Amino acid sequence: MAKQRAESAAAGRTAAPAFVDRSVPLYYQLANLLTEKIISRELLTGDRLPTEVELVEQYGISRITVRQALRLLEEEGLIRREVGRGTFVTDYRPFIGGLKVEGSLEDVISLGQNPVKVLSVQTVKAGPDDAEKMGIHPGDPIVRATRIRLYHDQPYSYIVNDLPAEIGRRFSKNDWQGVVLKTIEEKLKIPLRDAEQTVRASLADGTLARMLETKIGAPLLAVERVVRTDHGRVVERVRIHYRSDIYAMKVHLSRGDHPERQWAFASRKKPR
């Protein structure tokens, strides 16, 4: 009986999503994947993390590796451990520096000219994070589209667009294959005023690695943007993960009120 339990546990570990990039320490990859869940608020303040045993079975790694990853998160102030209770997400607040680079919505729209593959479009209930970012109530309906944008027939960005239901439901099937902001402004005649955008480093988890045809733990560029109308109403929240070996953001800073900015594709590498 004990042998059967051991074999079952081993089978569970084998079936779990394993890390494949052996050039990066496993504990560091796990720490970054958990950090991604915390920063993106998939894990909220006060949420309990899986136990060490659960993480071992989920990722197919050793308990020592799990402990190293959790120790790193604890040192960074992302989690706290309570004896006899478990490990919990702390009240994490990312530091936002004082560097401000001005751009334009035209810059953003121009980035969306490459071909796109629509994976899904569905109406879902807004979660607490969705509601906070979009200025609506938890449980309100939003239209969520997941898409992949291509460059030379190779996926370079994974996109999640969230729109208020009354706007998203006016999109046709073909509209999702184009530029979302262009459809909002030109087809739906909703004037856009401004947007707030956050850019940070990230690592590919299992889903992103599969969608972007890269390795688990591969470096990505994560962008989150909220776009508003003339009246301050949020019409789109978009979260994008870019492959950093294909896409790069270049900013030229100079003294004065109008720094130049440029978004560009990095030199294309052969698909793995």
One-letter-per-residue 3-state SS of 211-231: HCCCCCCCEEEEEEEEEEECC
Q: Which amino acid type is present at position 11?
A: A
Quote the DSSP letter at residue 186. I
Q: Which of 48-52, 178-182, 231-235, 243-247 has the lowest mean pLDDT?
A: 243-247
More confident residue, 271 or 75: 75
pLDDT in tens, 22-61: 666 888 888 888 887 887 778 888 999 999 999 999 888 8
Domain ranges of the chain: 2-89, 105-265
First to last CA, the chain: 43
More confident residue, 97 or 80: 80
> Given this model, what pLDDT does residue 11 score?
39
The helix (H) or strand (E) run that includes residue 86 is strand 86-89
Average pLDDT score over residue span 211-237 = 89
Residue 261 has pLDDT above 70, yes or no: no
- Class at the top of the CATH hierarchy for domain 105-265: alpha beta
Do the Cβ atoms of 49 and 87 come closer than 8 Å? yes
CATH number for the domain running over 2-89: 1.10.10.10
> Given this model, what pLDDT does residue 99 score?
44
> Given this model, what pLDDT does residue 44 score?
86
Residue 166 has pLDDT above 90, yes or no: yes
pLDDT in tens, 144-164: 999 999 888 889 899 999 999
Going by their DSSP bridges, the two strands 192-203 and 154-164 should be labelled as unpaired
Average pLDDT score over residue span 124-146 = 94
Q: pLDDT tier at 268 (50, 70, 90 boundaries)?
A: very low
Residue 2 has pLDDT above 50, yes or no: no
Tokens linked to 262: 């440029």
Which residues contact residue 229 at a Cβ distance below 8 angstroms, ignoring those fewer than 6 apart? 190, 191, 192, 193, 235
Residue 101 has pLDDT above 60, yes or no: no
Burial letters 200-227, b for 16+ CB under 10 A, else e: eebbbbeebbebbebbbbbbbbbbbbbb
Helix axes 2-15, 52-59, angle to 10 degrees: 60
Q: Which of 16-30, 41-55, 176-190, 195-209 has the lowest mean pLDDT?
A: 16-30
More confident residue, 232 or 260: 232
